[in-house]
Structures are given as structure tokens and as C-alpha cells.
Amino acid sequence: MKALVRIHSMDSATPTTEARLEFYQIGMLLDELGSDCPNQTAQLARVEIFEQGHLTRSFNTCIDARLKSMIARFY
């Protein structure tokens, strides 16, 4: 079963990216994004993870090339 991942820019309620990922991919994403922002001037984003229609995780991270490439690779 896949979970829905939504990424919102901090200045918008509309998701900038939305993908359905397998649970192992979400684990990889969380491991990678759990670290501090490497670039302190990067724009912040809100990552929300929905499992079976329920919000189960939500956190802030940087919108950078690393995040965009990970979502593109998984999606």
C-alpha cells in the first residue's frame, strides 16, 4: 500500500508536489530529510505524509535540489 506525500511551500496552502510512495521510500525520504537544512537561506517547505487518508507525519524542511531530486526519483 502506498502513502501520499504532499509538499507545501510555507507561503502557500496548495501543495507544490504530491506523490504516492511505498513505505520503504518514505523511510528513505525521512532519513534524508531528517537532517538540518544544509543551506540556511533556502526556502522552507512543509512535508505531510498521509497513510490510509490520515495525516501521520508532518515536518518542515528546506526546498532544495536534494528534495526535488528525491521526489522525482521516487515518483
Does the pLDDT of residue 24 top 90, yes or no?
A: no
More confident residue, 72 or 50: 50
Q: What is the rounded average pLDDT of the residues 31-41?
A: 68
pTM of the model: 0.73
pLDDT value, residue 37 = 67
Does the pLDDT of residue 47 top 70, yes or no?
A: yes
Does the pLDDT of residue 75 top 70, yes or no?
A: no
DSSP output for 4-49? EEEEEETT-SSEEEEEEEEHHHHHHHHHHHTSPPS-TTSEEEEEEE
Give me the residue spans of the domains in the chain: 2-74
